[in-house]
Structure 1
Amino acid sequence: MKVKYIVYTLLFAGVGALVFYRISENKKQKMDAAGGGGKDGKKPPMAVNGVVVAPQEFANTLSLSGSIEANEQIEVHSEVSGIAEKIFFTEGAKVSKGQVLVKINDIELRAQAGQAKTRQTLAAENERRARLLLQKEAISQEEYDIASADYKTALAQTQLINAQIGKTSIRAPFSGTIGLRNISPGTYVTPTTLITNLVNSSQIKITFSVPEKYASQMKVNSVITFTVSGSNETFQAKVYALEPSVEVTTRTLKVRAIAENAQGKLLPGTFANVILPLDEVKDAFVIPTEAIVPVQGGKKVFVVRNGQAQEATVETGTRTDKDIVVLSGLKAGDTVLTTGVLTLKKETPVKVSLTKKAK
């Protein structure tokens, strides 16, 4: 019996010791959660990364899509209807300004011109005689005015027909490269018939649109760079014209630049990736984009002061893939936290590891 009582006594003692241990541990954990796990009852500092802010020059670029156009480009049409008698160009060849491309049959027009010339000669003689008679007061002023009007009408008719004859020779309005022809000798052409295309691409134009927030930075004669698909070469162009207003629907400003294309590497109609340099900002504060915390009504960052994280409301400007310009809210020498910013709270103790110094 004594052995039995001894076993029960030891068992109850063991259970009581276990309960006491668990109660003590729970109290200790509650105290740690409430007062921190340090020896002095304070929470250990949170390990974070940060950068030291310093003023620097900031030069940003803007990547835009543009369209390459020929310096000059037209569709070649005839101004008069008729049979295409001769074609004087070769497809894909270079032509000079004023060169005859197509000759339209003008036999009927020349016949009309001869007829009109005869009428003009007769009207001129009648006008001369009427003038002499008027000087002798043999006819009235009205009769002379009729003869003079007949002469002027005949002269205008002759000039009109000669102008139409001139239009039967279709000439290149500028030097360039002729395209593929859409007619053959003997084709009856009208003003709506497309004969071919004429393109001058010794220089090319790049047209692109700039968001309105950067419109004030666009200047004539500024230099841009661009690339095209299928080539690793970088080309340069100079801005020569701006639209006078921003498009309301897209809120963009249309800009046009021109580039040399003597070697013909750039084809009109293709797309260009335009790299547009923006204004340089001196003494700018540049920080990593991950340091910015969006809040209602603005943005904030966490800076370190006396070993604690403090909130600072900032105003930002231009943003790149990795960095953002801070316009206000920071000063030189501030340490801006870049990690843990979404979990940080005001006056949280922090231990900062500087990753890089913002230049």
Structure 2
Amino acid sequence: MKTISRLKPPTWHNTVLLLSSLLMLTLALLLLSLPLAAQERTAVIASRVTLEPWSDPLEALGTLRADESVTLSATVTEIVAELNFRDGDLVEAGQLLIRLEDGEQQAQLRAAQAQRDERRSAVNRLTQLQERNMAPRADVEDSQARLRQVEAEIQGLEARLTNYQLRAPFDGRVGFRNISVGSLVTPGTQLVTLDKTDVMKLDFNVPEVFLAILEPGLPLTAHSAAFPDDVFEGEVASVGSRVDPVSRSVSVRAELANPELRLRPGMLMEVVVQRRPRQAVVAPESVLVPSGDRQYVMVIDEADGNRLERRRVTVGERRTGQVEILEGLAEGELVVNHGLQRAREGDNVRLLGIADDDATIRKILERNRSEESS
């Protein structure tokens, strides 16, 4: 006779284990079904995409020249009688700077002026007599000719006297004074320099391959080691008419405004010509996520709870800390700048702040640390 085996009824211990397993499974399912907003979000710092003036930089080194520059020299041999300036003075056009001893020439001028007065009186007397038919007309004409002759002599003397008076031909700044009152000067002796520096000329050379894009009016910026924190703005004034056959470069002259007169002739300047000026969509270079030969960014969708979207972009030119975006982003969009390592597409992130010129990433992080500690 066969024995029929029966299933043993479940014990209390087995029932507890089964219920525990079911409870853990239910909790796991509940956690998975929780909305993402209830979970801990990744903290990031974003940057706003902007529309800014942009250009392709062309760099060169240039030398400054004064807008107008002259060295005043003596044209006669004479002694210095008067000096009306000091080193580095700002002078006005027409101001008397140096007067040479001109006593003899002044005496000749006074004599000629006296002779002119005498002959003018003679002309007047003869004219009155001729009107009464008491003097021949020929005498009147001879007297008038002698008057014109002495007037011409006076003009010649006055013109020669200008050689003894050196005046500023334009507004500017004089250089060092290397002569003194009583010094004997001869023709060609350099007496003083004068530079007009409210506008400066900047000469530099660029390769001939850029000749097609060079034209007057092209904006540029210049930097000097003497003023490392300052940027001087100007524009191309003219382009040379010849290309150097040795260096294969063309000369360019620009003009820089110098209202504070800080720039001086002869200074070396770093020039950046702004080629193809335009309005461009610009983002911080740190937002780019390279993948092979492609570039991506993490875009924050503010309307969808700060959800991340991985988006491919096409980049153009770059400059310090910034990149031009040709395709893929629009002005005003938010992109992840800090925290890219933990950011994943589809995540909803916690925005710590938006970095800009006033609020840097460091300031935003320090502010959040202080808030968390308080």
Per the normalisation by structure 2, the TM-score is 0.53
Counterparts of 2:161 and 2:278 in 1: how far apart (Å)? 64
Q: State the match for 2:62 in structure 1.
A: 66
Equivalent residue in structure 2 for 1:273, among 270, 275, 279:
270
> Is 1:150 matched with 2:146?
yes
Extract unaligned runs of 5+ from structure 1: 1-57, 283-318, 321-359
CA-atom RMSD, angstroms? 3.6
Q: Is the 8 A contact 1:94 1:178 kept in 2?
A: yes
Equivalent residue in structure 1 for 2:87, among 82, 85, 91:
91
> Is 1:261 matched with 2:258?
yes
> Is 1:111 matched with 2:130?
no
Task: Return the letter of the residue paired with 1:170.
Answer: L
For 2:256, what is the secondary structure of its paired residue?
strand
Counterparts of 1:178 and 1:207 in 2: how far apart (Å)? 22
Correspondences of 1:142-181 after superposition (within 5 Å)? 143-181=139-177
Q: Give the drift of 1:69.
A: 0.8
Deviations 1:119-143 (A, max 9, x none): 2122223333444455466666555
If each structure's strand is expressed as a fraction of its own residues, which one has the higher value?
A: 2
Counterparts of 2:126 and 2:240 in 1: how far apart (Å)? 60
Task: Return the letter of the residue paired with 1:258.
Answer: E
Cα gap change, 1:217 to 1:139, in 2 (>3 Å): farther
Task: Return the letter of the residue paired with 1:257.
Answer: A
Deviations 1:28-48 (A, max 9, x none): xxxxxxxxxxxxxxxxxxxxx
Task: Return the letter of the residue paired with 1:266.
Answer: L
Cα gap change, 1:194 to 1:280, in 2 (>3 Å): closer
Deviations 1:76-122 (A, max 9, x none): 22454421112121112333333322222221112101210122122
Q: Is the 8 A contact 2:80 2:100 kept in 1?
A: yes
Q: State the match for 1:225 in structure 2.
A: 221
Task: Return the letter of the residue paired with 1:176.
Answer: G
Cα gap change, 1:61 to 1:158, in 2 (>3 Å): same
Extract unaligned runs of 5+ from structure 2: 1-53, 280-316, 319-374
Counterparts of 1:280 and 1:168 in 2: how far apart (Å)? 53
Q: Give the drift of 1:149.
A: 1.8
- Percent of pairs with identical residues: 25
Deviations 1:191-248 (A, max 9, x none): 4111111223233211123333322322323210122345533523322521473346
Q: Give the drift of 1:158.
A: 1.6
For 1:108, what is the secondary structure of its paired residue?
helix
Counterparts of 2:194 and 2:163 in 1: how far apart (Å)? 18
Q: State the match for 1:340 in structure 2.
A: none
Q: Is the 8 A contact 1:238 1:258 kept in 2?
A: yes
Which segment is superposed worse, 60-69 or 79-88?
79-88
Q: State the match for 1:347 in structure 2.
A: none
Task: Return the letter of the residue paired with 2:95.
Answer: Q
For 1:195, what is the secondary structure of its paired residue?
strand
> Is 1:245 matched with 2:236?
no
Counterparts of 2:132 and 2:249 in 1: how far apart (Å)? 75
Aligned residues: 233
Q: Give the drift of 1:186.
A: 0.5
Task: Return the letter of the residue paired with 1:174.
Answer: F
Deviations 1:227-281 (A, max 9, x none): 2345533523322521473346465443222223344442211222211222269
Deviations 1:22-66 (A, max 9, x none): xxxxxxxxxxxxxxxxxxxxxxxxxxxxxxxxxxxx953222221
Task: Return the letter of the residue paired with 2:228.
Answer: N
Counterparts of 2:213 and 2:55 in 1: how far apart (Å)? 13
Q: State the match for 1:200 in structure 2.
A: 196
Q: Is the 8 A contact 2:240 2:252 kept in 1?
A: no
Q: Is the 8 A contact 1:242 1:253 kept in 2?
A: no
Q: Is the 8 A contact 1:73 1:198 kept in 2?
A: yes
Q: Is the 8 A contact 1:237 1:257 kept in 2?
A: no
Q: State the match for 1:209 in structure 2.
A: 205
For 1:147, what is the secondary structure of its paired residue?
helix
Correspondences of 1:288-303 after superposition (within 5 Å)? none
Per the normalisation by structure 1, the TM-score is 0.55
Counterparts of 2:58 and 2:207 in 1: how far apart (Å)? 10
For 1:220, what is the secondary structure of its paired residue?
coil
Counterparts of 1:60 and 1:88 in 2: how far apart (Å)? 50
> Is 1:124 matched with 2:157?
no
Q: Is the 8 A contact 1:227 1:235 kept in 2?
A: yes
Task: Return the letter of the residue paired with 1:160.
Answer: G
Q: Give the drift of 1:152.
A: 0.6
